[in-house]
Structures are given as C-alpha cells and as structure tokens.
Structure 1
Amino acid sequence: MSTHNLSKPKGLLIDLDGTLYHGERKIDGADEWIAGLREVKLPYLFVTNNSTAAPGVVADRLNRMGIPAAADDVVTSAQAAAAYIARIRPGASVHILGETGLKEAAVEAGLNIEALERPDFVLQGIDRELNYEKLKRTVALLLNGTEYILTNPDVLLPSDDGLLPGAGSLSALLQTASGVKPTIIGKPSNILVEFALDRMGLKAEETWMVGDNMATDIAAGRSAGCGTALVLTGITNTGNLDRFRAQTGIEPDGIFADLRELNTYIFSLLGT
C-alpha cells in the first residue's frame, strides 16, 4: 500500500467493474467492505460508466453477490448523460445507440426517444445488438450535424468471458466515419463525478473516488477535485501500474492492493 494525501472522507464514490466485481464474480472482501460502510453510516454511491443496465438492475446484481445495494445507491453514465442533455435542452429529441439502461434514463429525464427524422442529439452507449443498419443511420445523423453525446469512452468492458469491446470502441468507429467528436459524460470526464456529487450533496474535496482504472476512475476523480484511492483489483494491477502512471501522468492519493487493505485504512481514519 502507498498513501499520500488522503484525509478522512465524508463520502465515497465507488466504481463497480473491476472494483467490486468481475462479471458475475464478486471481488474478495467487497461484501464485507460495503456492509461496514453501511454500519458506520459513511455515505457512498456506486458510480459506473456502464450504460447498459438501469440502477435497479445493477442493485439486484450486487445483492445477488451479497453486496447490499438499492437502486438509489447507483449512478450510471446513462443517467448522467440524459441529465446533461435535459439540462442544456429540456425535452430534447435523441437518437439512441444503446441498450435498455440508456433508453430508460432518457425517458426518465424527459427526453423524446421516438424515431425522428432530425433528432437533436445522438446519444451513444454500448449496443451488443449492433448491426450495419444502426451504424449507417447514426453516421448519417452525425454527418448532417446532429450533436453527439457519448456515455463513456471505455474501449473494453470486463465480463465473465474476459474483456469485450466497449462503448469507446463503437465510438471510435463512429468518429472515424463521421469526423465528429462527442461530448464525453463518463469517466475520465468529470461530468459523471459531479452528477454523483450533486446527488450526495457533498463537495469534491470531502469525497474519495475509489476505482481500479487509472485512466478512467482515478483521472475523473482527480479532474473533479476528489481524493483518489486506487485498488489493484481490476484494470490496473501491480504488473501495469508503472505503465499507467506514465500513460496518465497521474499519481493516485492512495494505492491499495485489495479491498481489505483499503477497508482497514478507511476505518483507521474514521476511528472505528
């Protein structure tokens, strides 16, 4: 473990994929850690770049692993993206390239997801039923000037089958075809983090961002002004840590081998 400038937190923003689980497999100590946070009433939110599932579905998945969770504990890039559009253009029409979680978030934000000839925005996440017709329609809209919002830039998505192409991989195709750059909502952008902070009612400097990915979780936390705690349980590990340091130019405020080490450190700060 290496720690630097982490002070006692008033709240935590916690990544999911690679931090609490891999696919349907719980990471060792995740259930004990979250149960402990609930016991001492330290506020936290689960903050995920994954736009495929609604918060209730994510919470159900966590509960099946023995990690206590409710829908209100979950913040997704889909929710933040829909809220971003609704804030700058209430009731906007959107063409969605994505799955159920993204569509539900758009509807809940009051956006129009009907198939319009000239929607205001292209809203893109991951779409595991992608086909050429969907790509053709989306590229045509971008070429005609439709504004482009991307839920998250992850090129890979952890799963039980290993790493799969993520929303960022689809976006690379769309950007190459259209020449249009998206507004990015998810980590490493600070838009998702600030959306979560607003939900918790805490300031960035009072909050830690906890995650396994230097290039997304830690970069987003740093950009927003949060303390950053890296756990070497997922994308970043002891073998590639130095490469990620060089690639990102970022040093986390704390580095922890696993969740149990992180748990011990947090509770020492809390005095429990």
Structure 2
Amino acid sequence: MKDYQGYFIDLDGTTYKGKKRIPAAARFIKRLQERQKNVLFVTNNSTRTPEFVAENLRNNHNINVTSKNIYTTALATADYLSSVAPAMSKIYVVGESGLKQALQKNGFILTDDNPAYVVVGLDTDVTYDKLEKAVLLIRNGAIFIGTNADSNLPNERGMVPGAGSIIKLVEYATQQQPIMIGKPESIIMKMALKKVRLPKEKVIMVGDNYHTDIQAAINVGMDNLLVYTGLSRPTEVVKETVQPTFTVESLDEWQI
C-alpha cells in the first residue's frame, strides 16, 4: 500500500451523519494527525465558512482541526475564478454567506450590475427575483458557474433540495450548461491539490458516496477509499465499471 502524504476527506456520511457522530472517523483523523499526514476536508457544501465547519467538527464531533483543514466548494469556486478572471471582476451570486465571503476575500465585487460571472450555489433563502436576475444576466452574456451538482442533501426532515436543483432551474431557463466546480468534477480536486502542494499520486480521497467523492477522484486520476458508512452500498458499487481503489466498512479498518 502506498504511503499517502495527503488525505482528502468528505464530511457528511464519512465524518459524521448530520448531527450524529461517527466515532471511527474521529479515531481515523487522530491517527492521521499522529502520523503528521496532511488532512483536508473536501466538501460540496458552499453555505458555511471554513471557520464554522472547523468549529462544528471540534465542538460536536471530537475532531480537532482548524479552518486551514477545510476546503469547501465556496473556496474552490473562488480559487477557480481567481485563476481565470481578472482581479476585481464583478460577480452576481445566488448563494449564502460562505460562498459570498470566499469570493469577496479573493477580491471579487459582488453585484448585479453587469457582472462578468453568475455563480449559483445552495441558497435556502432563494427567491424568484434572485433566479430571475441570474437567468437574465446569463442570457445577456455572463459566464455561468455552478458550485456543485448535488440534487439533494440530507437533514432531519429527509432529502431536501440541494444546490444542483437550483442550478438545474437556471440551466433550463438559460439553455446554458454551467461550469461545475464541486465533486464529482475535477476542478475542486485540482484546486485542493494546489492548496496542499502535493502531487495526486501522494493523496487519497476518502468518502462515502461513489457518485461524488469516488468519481471525483477517478476523474482526476487519484486513488480513493470508499467507506460504507453513508450513501453508497456494496451491492450498488459492484455494478460500477470503474471500481474504487479501496473499500472498507469502517475507517477503523484502514491501515495508515
């Protein structure tokens, strides 16, 4: 087995289940830290700041990390745009504080006044007015960016609409496909690799969802570890053409 120097780790379903702890995940992270591995939580959630995510892991899941260990689709979107857009570019955003703060920290101007880009992510306060502006701006020439394609996300009420559902509405109304940032696309993985300054051969992606976490790793040519504590089931995964590099029932099984 390779001596991986970096671990990209999913959150919901891998590290915790909503508000419920996964004790094996906390033990796994502690073992990685003891061996001085580079740990980066790579999540499709664009609504929260890295500081909020790290605080949640510390206070509610017994995982001692800081904001430097968190990489969200908000950060990946901001980093991607910084790599392709001029400084101080104008952006219209349908999204929440995590996404807006990430873009502002990278020097972008958030406005609906003739923006060069329209970024659409999860927005639990989305309105027809916000969507109308996004559609009209894209139809007038703004470049369409989507944070992630998740159709649903789990909460205590069930599988509620995710960012992908909002993005699909805008896509249908504009007849334009967005540039997608989050898993399973390769952009977030490439941005995360730049952040940790490691080659993909030295990093493994750990997740519970074959169609996002594992597919993202496959798309960028990275080894991966599927843990059966969340969404994907062995009976489903065995049917996939490309199999995960490794699978475990619990992260306690993984030898570091």
TM-score range, shorter chain: over 0.9
Q: Which of 87, 96, 99 pairs up with 1:99?
A: 96
Structure 1 residues without counterparts, runs of 5 or longer: 1-5, 268-272
**Paired letter, 2:48:** A
Distance in 2 separating the partners of 1:222 and 1:38: 25
Percent identity (aligned): 36
Distance in 2 separating the partners of 1:141 and 1:216: 29
Deviation at 1:56, TM superposition (A): 0.5
**Counterpart of 2:109 in 1: which secondary structure?**
coil
Deviation at 1:124, TM superposition (A): 1.0
Contact 2:112 2:133 in 1 (8 A): no
Distance in 2 separating the partners of 1:49 and 1:241: 21
Query: Which residue in 2 is equivalent to 1:130?
Result: 126
**Counterpart of 1:82 in 2: which secondary structure?**
helix
State TM-score, norm by structure 1: 0.90
Change in 2 beyond 3 A, CA 1:239/1:251: closer
**Paired letter, 2:136:** A
**Counterpart of 2:23 in 1: which secondary structure?**
coil
Superposed CA deviations along residues 97-152 of structure 1, whole A, max 9, x for unmatched, are 00010000001111001x33210100111001111111111111122121011111
Superposed CA deviations along residues 145-189 of structure 1, whole A, max 9, x for unmatched, are 210111111111122333221111111111111101100111111
Distance in 2 separating the partners of 1:235 and 1:155: 14
Query: Which residue in 2 is equivalent to 1:139?
Result: 135
Distance in 2 separating the partners of 1:235 and 1:173: 25
Q: Which of 237, 250, 253 pairs up with 2:245?
A: 253
Change in 2 beyond 3 A, CA 1:69/1:161: farther
Change in 2 beyond 3 A, CA 1:160/1:22: farther
Distance in 1 separating the partners of 2:157 and 2:191: 31
Distance in 1 separating the partners of 2:177 and 2:29: 38
Deviation at 1:7, TM superposition (A): 2.2
Contact 1:62 1:68 in 2 (8 A): yes
Contact 2:6 2:202 in 1 (8 A): yes
Distance in 1 separating the partners of 2:14 and 2:155: 13
Query: Which residue in 2 is equivalent to 1:110?
Result: 107
Q: Which of 206, 212, 216 pairs up with 1:220?
A: 216
Q: Which of 64, 68, 78 pairs up with 1:68?
A: 64
**Counterpart of 1:209 in 2: which secondary structure?**
strand
**Paired letter, 2:89:** A
Contact 1:22 1:160 in 2 (8 A): no
Distance in 1 separating the partners of 2:166 and 2:235: 28
Change in 2 beyond 3 A, CA 1:116/1:139: closer
Q: How many residues align?
A: 254
Q: Which of 2, 8, 20 pairs up with 1:7?
A: 2
Query: Which residue in 2 is equivalent to 1:167?
Result: 163
Structure 2 residue 23 is matched with structure 1 residue 31: no
Superposed CA deviations along residues 62-102 of structure 1, whole A, max 9, x for unmatched, are 01221111000001111111111122112211000000100
Contact 1:142 1:178 in 2 (8 A): yes
Distance in 1 separating the partners of 2:17 and 2:141: 38
Structure 2 residue 38 is matched with structure 1 residue 46: no
Distance in 1 separating the partners of 2:55 and 2:42: 15
Deviation >3 Å, runs of 4+: none
Deviation at 1:239, TM superposition (A): 4.6
Q: Which of 148, 151, 156 pairs up with 1:155?
A: 151
